[in-house]
Amino acid sequence: MRRLAVPFLLAAVLTGCSSTEPGKPSAGDQTGSAPTTGSSAGNAPVNRPKAVDMKSVDVCGLITADAKTTLKIQSATERESPADYGEGTKSCGLLFQQPRTYGGSLYTLTNGGVDRLKRTVGKTTELTETTASGYPAYLAKNITEGSQPDSCDLYIDANDGQLLLVKMGPLIGVEAPLDGACELSKSIGAAVGTALATA
């Protein structure tokens, strides 16, 4: 049975990007690789490889040349991000090589962390705890009704009060299993998690 899922913030339409410009090579402005702790969820400290400020990260730069090759990403292009995602939010549209079945984007969320995620998405959509290259992460299947496409969203706990969202779903007009989008979200999450940890 399909459910109407309430999105974490403003729902994003999943479409492929037309630009073929590669992403920038750097990601974030913090140094060091020692694990860091924080209290993003307001309870126990959060163990991360590295806390990265989502307001300063080069979001397209998180898609490295190796990730492009491995995940068959043709381009990663910065584009406008919804204002509801917070001040200084950024977005990167991902265009995959042919045949194109799935599409999606990376988003930086700067106005709420895991605590807000659980109060919003977690009320209507099951959040599955997972990891992305050492970062705590939460996977949510968004099955929608109407014109919005279904998506599988991976929220990476990158910093206290901030998240990195990997949103993937079947392209409009393409019949493809949502589980495939979830596997893609997790694969991309692992790649960007590695880039965050070494930024």
Kindly give the confidence (pLDDT) of every residue in the chain, 199 residues in length, as a single tens digit, with 9 standing for 90 and above. Answer: 444 343 433 333 333 333 333 333 333 333 333 344 444 445 568 899 999 999 999 999 999 999 999 999 999 999 999 889 999 999 999 999 998 999 999 999 999 999 999 998 888 888 999 999 999 999 999 887 766 778 999 999 999 999 999 999 999 889 899 999 999 999 999 999 999 999 8
Q: Which residues of 89-128 are buried (b: 16+ CB within 10 A; e: fewer)?
A: bbbbbbbbeeeeebbbbbbbbbbbbbbbbeeebbeebebe
Distance CA 78, CA 40 (A): 27
The amino acid that residue 95 corresponds to is L
Q: What predicted TM-score, i.e. pTM, was given to this entire model? A: 0.78
| Ranges of H-type helices in the chain | 65-71, 114-124, 178-197
Three-class SS state of 142: strand
Q: Partners of 151 in the beta sheet?
A: 142
Structure token pair of residue 98: 């042919």
Strands 46-48 and 73-79, bridge-based pairing = unpaired
Output the CA–CA distances (angstroms, integers) from residue 161 to 8, 57, 109, 197, in the order listed.
Answer: 14, 15, 9, 18
Q: What are the chain's domains?
A: 60-197 (3.40.1000)
Please check whether residue 85 is in contact with residue 108, taking contact to mean a CB–CB distance below 8 angstroms.
yes
